[in-house]
Structures are given as structure tokens and as C-alpha cells.
Chains A and B, each alone.
Chain A
Amino acid sequence: MVGFNPDHGLFSYGLGALPPDWPGNYWLHWGLFVIIIIVFVLAMVMAFIYFERRGLGRLQVRLGPNRVGPFGILQPVADAIKILLKEDIVPAKGDKLVHWWAPVVAFAPALMIFAVIPFENGALLADLNIGILYIVAVSSVSVVGVFMAAWSCNNKFSLIGAMRTVAQIVSYEIPLGFSIIGVALIAGSLSMNEIVTSQNIPFILLQPLGFLIYFISACAEMNRTPFDLMEAESEIVDGYHIEYSGMKFAMFYLAEYVEALAISAIITTLFLSGWKGPLLPPFLWFLIKVVLIFFAIVWVRGTIPRIRVDQLMAFAWKCLLPLALINLFITGIEVIVLPQPLPWLIVFLNLAIMAILVLLWSKFFKLGGGRVEV
């Protein structure tokens, strides 16, 4: 691999990308990367489940799972074995065919996202020239899986969960898209690998507001805790996967973490300059950044309580959408007007703009206190 060659040293990633059919053959490349992606995803998901449960324990001043193996490190394995041995229950009046297919439809898109994530320079399954658009399109399919699960259960709580999902995902997809367009404008490409190679400084510095908007909307898209209204345990007892057990439930659980991993990888690629970094091999940089972003996601989950439905919608339409539009507008002006080789001016300008806008919105836009408007 490129990065492990000591002769290349600091600028190893600059010397050249891996060819698109890297080990030399189209089918070999295909098979190899499918295996790499599946192993990477499963290993990282196991690690993330352990990391999240222990980290969340620390954040909530408790221990977390600590009995199975040293430091409880084998807890995900034990959970996986337990869940595989459970009985598979299908509701008597449910739609059995749809019930069977729902976990597959929910899980497959999350895995398909990794086809365009570059682990190293050129080390990706397919360097599509519409990379980031492909990700947005594919990840929008998983809603259908949630719907299928909710419908086939013949259960009113799961249906309420699905209704909430639509409202939430349709609303938060708009600021999400706008923040991505900001990155694409600066990078001048939609290909994930080219977005990384064009980042001489990480885009989080050039697009601080875009990063914030993307992070928040992505948390809403994958239903992490401040926005997990569709599964809200205390209101609708787990939402769409209420009637699932055994392996099918495991698929949903897995899909949730694969999506979290995918979002971390996308943020790493778009805003944190992906595999780029000094000294360490590129893949290690990629991994470090992914884990950092995932830690931030867990941190948010451990800190912020779940918000109400009306607050959720108001936040998307009255706060995130105007900010995303302003951000896109300013980015467009900067790309056209300002000359290329002075990024530090733009960095400070954008940081100042972000601070002013966030302060402004927090002043004259408040989530409606204890009042509920329907």
C-alpha cells in the first residue's frame, strides 16, 4: 500500500493514488474491496457498540458493561450470540413477507454508502464522479425499510414512530443537502476522493457553519438521541422495531450503528480531509478521525435530552434551513470573489460569520419554552 512505504515519507499520499483497479484486475478489485468493507464495517461496529456503552456509562457517572472479559470487552460478542439464539417472533396479523424484507431494506443502503468512501488515496470500491450525490440518494432509501418494518408489525406504536420518521427525515434532508453543496462548491467536485485531495486545509475551517449544520442534520437523519423521536423508548416503546426479535432485530441494531459509522466516515471525508495527515499512514488517520467524530456523536447523546416533536420541526425549518441558505450564499460569493491562495483570511472570516449567525439565531429564535403548539 502507498502509505506504508518508508521511502515516500511525509508526502506519501501526494505521490499518486492507487489505480482504479488496484490489485490489477477489475473483478479482483471488486471482490477485495467488498471483503475489506464488510470486515471494516463489522469490526468497527463491534468496537463502536462497546465504545458507546462504556463511554455513555462514563458520561452518566456509571460503569457500563464490565463483566464479560477484561473491561467488559467481550460484551458485544456475548450480545450477538444471545440475540442469534433468540426466538424469531412474527406478529400473527402482520404482513409476513414485508416483515421479513424490512430489515434487509433498512440495512443494505447503510452498507452501500461505504462503496464510495476512500480509505486511502484511491483506495475505494468505486470512485464515482457523483460520489456525494450517490451517498445522499442511497441513504434516502433506508426510510422505506423503516416504513416496511412499521407497517408490517400491525402495531400502532410502530406506526406512530414511522409517521414521525417521515416528518423528521424529509425536514432534515434539506439543510443536510445545502451543507454538502457548500463543500462541493469549494472542492469543485462531487467525487469523494477528489474532495479529499482538494483539501489542503480541512474544510471544517473553511466551512465551520456547514460542518455544524451537517453534524446536527446527520444526527437527526440517523435518529441519534437528541432526535430519536421515532424510537423514543419512554413514549412509544421503541417505535418501528417494537415487534422484532432475534436476528431481524439484530439487523436493525446493526443498521443503526453502520449508519453512525457511515456518517462519521462521511464527515471525516467532507470536512476533516479524510485520509490526509502527516507522519502516520493514511488509513490510520482516517480511522482516528472517524473515531473522533463518533466520540462527538456519543458525547452529544450523553449530554442533550430528547426534544419534543414541535421543537424538532421548528428547529429544522426556522433555524437550520435559514442558516444553511445563508451559508451557501456566502460560500458562493467567496468562491467567486476571493482569490484562491489566501485561505487564512477566509478561515477567520467564516469563523466570525458563524459565531455572529449562531448568536443571532439563539437570540431571536427560541424553542417554545413549556408551551405546546399543535
Chain B
Amino acid sequence: MAGLDIAFWTLAVIGVASALTVVLLRNVFRAALSLVLCFLAVAGIYVSLSADFLAAVQVLIYVGAISVLIILAIMLTRDVQRGSLSNKFRIPAFFVAILFLGAVGFAVCNTPWQIAGIAPQEPTTSALAGKLFGEGGFVLPLEITPVLLLAAILGAIILVREK
């Protein structure tokens, strides 16, 4: 158990520190890179929770695809080194952020967190496959979500397309 505790605290500190770095750094490119580190730390926490499939998917989707797209978008922007982050919404944004933090903190403190009594399932892949494709599974929601995403992507393309 001690090993798991060490792993959790290391990953948690790395995750929170890199998340703070994302917000505080002026250099947007470095901020994106620390976001990658944050995603990796979250994947590590999934591994320590015996959710190996979820960890691999987290790395594949977030590190391999989403961060790459974020970095690509950053490469197309100007003033990356100095950053032009401040604008006139600074003070309203501060209040909204404080409000959000308060709401999340309240929710976390007041939720009765339950600890499962049974050991985690090994291997996870077949259990997940059963949930997805088995009797009474989630195939239909799974198939509807991509259609929704595809519609959103098409809408975005139509909105930004030049005539």
C-alpha cells in the first residue's frame, strides 16, 4: 500500500503543479507543454487505480491528439513568447472564477464519498467490452455521441468557412 501512496502523492503533486503552471505561465507554448504533463499525471493516477484501459485511452486521446491540436493552434497565433493574455474582462473573470471555485469546493466537501469494498476488476478490457457491447449495454448512446460530435464539427466548419 505504501508504494501506491507514494505513487499517488507524487502524481498528484506533479498534476496540480503542472495545472497551476498552465494558468500562470505567460509563454503559451510552455503552458501547453505543461498541460501535456498534467494529462500524463492524470493517466498515471488512472494506472494506480487499476484503470489501465482508461489510462491508455487518456494518453492516446489527450496527449496524442488534443494537445497536438492545441499546440498546432498555438503555432498559428502571434505573440506567443510575451503573451497578450490580459484584457478588459480581467476583474469580471476573477469574480466568476472565485464563484466557480467556491461552488466546486462546496460540492466536494459536502458529497458523501463512498469507498468500494471489493477489489478492482482484472483484466478491465473484457469487463468494459461487456458493458459496451453486451446485453443491455451502452451501444446506442455510444453510437449517438459520435453523430452529435460530427454534427458539431460540421457546424463549426460551416460557421468559420470563407465564401
Q: Are B30 and A130 in contact (CB under 8 A)?
A: no
Residues of B within 8 A of A98 (CB): 29-30, 33
Residues of A within 8 A of B52 (CB): 128-130
Residues of A within 8 A of B124 (CB): 129-130
Q: Are B56 and A134 in contact (CB under 8 A)?
A: yes
**B83 contacts chain A at the CB level, 8 A cutoff:** no
The 0/1 profile, CB within 8 Å of B marked 1, for residues 113-130 of chain A is 000000000000000111
The 0/1 profile, CB within 8 Å of B marked 1, for residues 180-207 of chain A is 0000000000100000000000000000
Binds B, one of A143-151, A301-309, A339-347: A143-151
Q: Could you tell me the distance in whole angstroms from the C-beta of A112 to the nearest C-beta in chain B?
A: 11
Q: Are B60 and A144 in contact (CB under 8 A)?
A: no
Residues of B within 8 A of A147 (CB): 68, 71
The 0/1 profile, CB within 8 Å of A marked 1, for residues 62-94 of chain B is 011101110110010000000000000000000
**B36 contacts chain A at the CB level, 8 A cutoff:** yes
Q: Are A137 and B30 in contact (CB under 8 A)?
A: no
**B123 contacts chain A at the CB level, 8 A cutoff:** yes
Q: Name the contact of B75 in the complex, choosing from A95, A143, A159, A173 (C-beta under 8 A).
A: A159
Q: Could you tell me the distance in whole angstroms from the C-beta of B81 to the nearest C-beta in chain A?
A: 8
**B57 contacts chain A at the CB level, 8 A cutoff:** yes
Q: Is the interface of A mostly helix, strand, loop or mixed?
A: helix
Q: Could you tell me the distance in whole angstroms from the C-beta of A131 to the nearest C-beta in chain B?
A: 10
Q: Are B75 and A140 in contact (CB under 8 A)?
A: no
Given A143-B68, A151-B71, A166-B72, 20 additional A-B pairs, CB 8 A: A95-B27, A98-B29, A98-B30, A128-B52, A129-B122, A129-B124, A137-B56, A137-B59, A138-B59, A140-B60, A140-B63, A140-B64, A140-B65, A144-B71, A148-B33, A151-B75, A159-B75, A163-B72, A163-B75, A170-B68
Residues of B within 8 A of A128 (CB): 52
**B53 contacts chain A at the CB level, 8 A cutoff:** yes
**B10 contacts chain A at the CB level, 8 A cutoff:** no
Q: Could you tell me the distance in whole angstroms from the C-beta of A218 to the nearest C-beta in chain B?
A: 15
Q: Determine the distance from Cα of A162 to Cα of B29 in the docked complex, in whole angstroms.
A: 14
B113-143 interface with A by 8 A CB criterion: 122-125
The 0/1 profile, CB within 8 Å of A marked 1, for residues 30-52 of chain B is 10010010000000000000001
Residues of B within 8 A of A170 (CB): 65, 68
User: Chain B: interface residue count, which band?
Assistant: 20 to 34
**A18 contacts chain B at the CB level, 8 A cutoff:** no
Residues of A within 8 A of B57 (CB): 133, 137
**A136 contacts chain B at the CB level, 8 A cutoff:** yes
Residues of A within 8 A of B123 (CB): 129-130
The 9 closest A-B pairs by CB, nearest first: A140-B64, A129-B123, A137-B59, A137-B60, A137-B56, A133-B56, A147-B71, A130-B52, A130-B56
Residues of A within 8 A of B30 (CB): 95, 97-98
Residues of B within 8 A of A173 (CB): 64
**Residue in chain A with minimal CB distance to B80:** A151
Q: Are A190 and B125 in contact (CB under 8 A)?
A: yes
Q: Determine the distance from Cα of A170 to Cα of B64 in the docked complex, in whole angstroms.
A: 9
Q: A98-B29, A133-B56, A134-B56 are in contact. Are A141 and B64 (CB under 8 A)?
A: yes
**Residue in chain B with minimal CB distance to A144:** B36
Q: Are A136 and B29 in contact (CB under 8 A)?
A: no
Interface hub of A97, A144, A148, A159 (most chain B Cβ within 10 A): A144
Q: Determine the distance from Cα of A98 to Cα of B34 in the docked complex, in whole angstroms.
A: 11
Residues of A within 8 A of B69 (CB): 166
Q: Are B63 and A144 in contact (CB under 8 A)?
A: yes
Q: Are A162 and B56 in contact (CB under 8 A)?
A: no
Q: List 23 A-B contacts (CB under 8 A).
A: A97-B30, A128-B52, A129-B52, A129-B122, A129-B125, A130-B53, A130-B56, A130-B123, A136-B56, A136-B60, A137-B60, A137-B63, A137-B64, A140-B59, A140-B60, A141-B63, A143-B68, A144-B68, A144-B71, A162-B75, A163-B75, A166-B72, A190-B125
